[in-house]
A and B are shown apart, each in its own frame.
Chain A
């Protein structure tokens, strides 16, 4: 029994990757009163193509990690974990959207580059709050830039914009799924 407990404990540490960390972080941000449910959703090529053309950035992968956040019977928010490529490495981030598809929170989960780490700044990321699919996301115009982190700032801005356009479609998917 002791061995089983040890194996279970250590194995849980080993497999606790960025997805699990993100789930934990979302639970902390949204509070204990909500229920969060993780799922992986495949984004159809047709949807990817339309959004990529608008934002001018491709999707990192065909599927996204999504958290469906409910309180009682009603959907209060969804969260999406995604990646964009900075100068050479992926930048992992998540965005929480309200039920009205407005941005509630943006956070960098993992930044792997030697330059441009300034985009992790809470103050900089809070500029995205309340933006939605109709908003503009141009750095230096709609979002204040960061000197020395231009490529990363542009990548994240495009990435958040992409998810903002995707979210109304996801809301429809959830409706059809009866959530």
Chain B
């Protein structure tokens, strides 16, 4: 009996050492994405107010798979192609750098991670959204890309995917008409209150995704944990991408308590609808005319901070990793309905 027990132990140890399957091999992967934009803006008198050709983003993705379960993943981003110091002359950011443990239906991440908030924060390659620039909603309501130091646990059950992330505090002194400038970006941040981010998504119907998230933080002002701005964000999103249609809806609301800008809330939405006409005209890849309706209210109580945007565009994916975009839009501030800004954008993007 003792010998049988010894044999069992030996083979259990052997099975552990061979637990990698025959197709996995440790090693690294490199990927990336990038996008170049040409932006032209005109005021209501047709005067050109902006003419900018910009290689907006260049991202290198690097990961190393130690075992099937343990891996390291990272993304480094260079914005605006040139770096001198400060956002005005480009940015170099470590947007992701985390250790990932992944089992079949659950996992853990620790390091520089992304909160699961909105459609584009985690998945923002240019081929995944229609317009040349990311929607304004994803700049002022959900500041994409939002990244920071922290931990996350995720899992999936009955087709519902859930994730809980704990991240660094926001910088309370930089909260104002939104939280964009308050992101700590992993730079010597505090963790007095931790930013709590909880999300759920459902994708069991082919082509459809439904998601919600809730994020809350008492953001310390000047690193003083006894003087903070309470921020809570609720957002929901839906995507339908089937039968040649592509439709997206995102809505989000931020409530503040003790905001230095003395506002109580920001909110916004956008709705995109496009139709792939390529098969009707014998075009290679996908060719999609589309339109967008959007409202972005950086401060719900101040008309000069509320912007209405409408856009039309056409997007062409010759292959799924490359995209060409053209869009034309008009925007108005609620406080100045007669003054319309016209935007014309042209873009090219890729990912691999």
Q: Which chain A residues have a beta carbon within 8 Å of chain B's beta carbons?
A: 2-3, 6-7, 10-11, 13-14, 17-19, 56, 60, 83, 85, 87-90, 92, 110-115, 117-118, 121, 123-124, 127, 138-141, 144-151, 154
Contact = CB atoms under 8 A, between A and B. Distances in A.
B2 to A, nearest CB: 11
B206 A124 contact: yes
Contacts of A11: 11
Given A114-B154, A140-B276, A18 B22 contact: yes
A83 B23 contact: yes
Interface in B241-279: 241-244, 246, 276, 278-279
B225 interface: no
B206 A127 contact: yes
Secondary structure of the B contact surface, majority rule: mixed
B65 interface: yes
A77 to B, nearest CB: 23
Contacts of A114: 100, 102, 107, 109, 154
B237 to A, nearest CB: 9
Contacts of A113: 102
14 contacts: A3-B7, A6-B4, A10-B12, A89-B24, A110-B23, A114-B154, A117-B105, A140-B286, A145-B242, A146-B206, A147-B119, A147-B239, A148-B123, A150-B125
A8 B209 CA distance: 47
Interface stretch (B13-21, B41-49, B301-309, B342-350): B13-21
B205 to A, nearest CB: 7
Interface of B: 3-4, 7-8, 11-12, 14-15, 18, 21-24, 29, 31, 61, 63, 65, 68, 71, 73, 100, 102, 104-105, 107, 109, 119, 122-123, 125, 127-128, 154, 156, 159, 161, 201, 203-207, 209, 239, 241-244, 246, 276, 278-279, 285-286, 319-321, 351
Contacts of A14: 11, 14-15, 18
Given A118-B161, A138-B285, A148-B122, A123 B276 contact: no
Contacts of B242: 144-145
Given A3-B4, A13-B15, A115 B122 contact: yes
Contacts of A121: 159, 203-204, 206
A147 B123 contact: yes
A88 B29 contact: yes
A60 B244 CA distance: 31
B23 A90 contact: yes
B29 A87 contact: yes
B335 to A, nearest CB: 35
Nearest to A90: B23
Contacts of B127: 150
Contacts of A89: 24, 65, 68, 71
Contacts of B320: 138-139, 150, 154
B23 A18 contact: yes
A17 B102 contact: no
B203 A148 contact: yes
Contacts of B206: 121, 123-124, 127, 144, 146
Nearest to B317: A140
A141 B123 contact: no
Contacts of A10: 7-8, 11-12, 15
Given A10-B8, A17-B21, A140-B276, A112 B207 contact: no
Q: Which 5 A-B pairs have the closest CB atoms?
A: A144-B207, A88-B29, A144-B242, A147-B209, A10-B11
A86 to B, nearest CB: 9
A87 B285 contact: no
Nearest to A111: B104
Contact of B102 (A112, A139, A144): A112
- The residue in A121, A127, A151 that gathers the most chain B C-beta atoms within 10 A of its C-beta is A151
B100 A150 contact: no
A2 B193 CA distance: 60
Contacts of A117: 105, 156, 161
Given A114-B109, A145-B207, A154-B320, 14 more contacts: A7-B7, A13-B11, A18-B22, A87-B63, A88-B29, A88-B73, A89-B68, A90-B24, A123-B204, A138-B285, A140-B276, A144-B242, A147-B203, A154-B321
B172 to A, nearest CB: 31
B129 to A, nearest CB: 11
A83 B22 CA distance: 11
B21 A150 contact: no
B91 to A, nearest CB: 24
Contact of A150 (B128, B201, B278): B128
Contacts of A3: 3-4, 7
Given A11-B11, A17-B21, A83-B23, A138 B286 contact: yes
Contacts of B241: 140, 144-147
B7 A141 contact: no
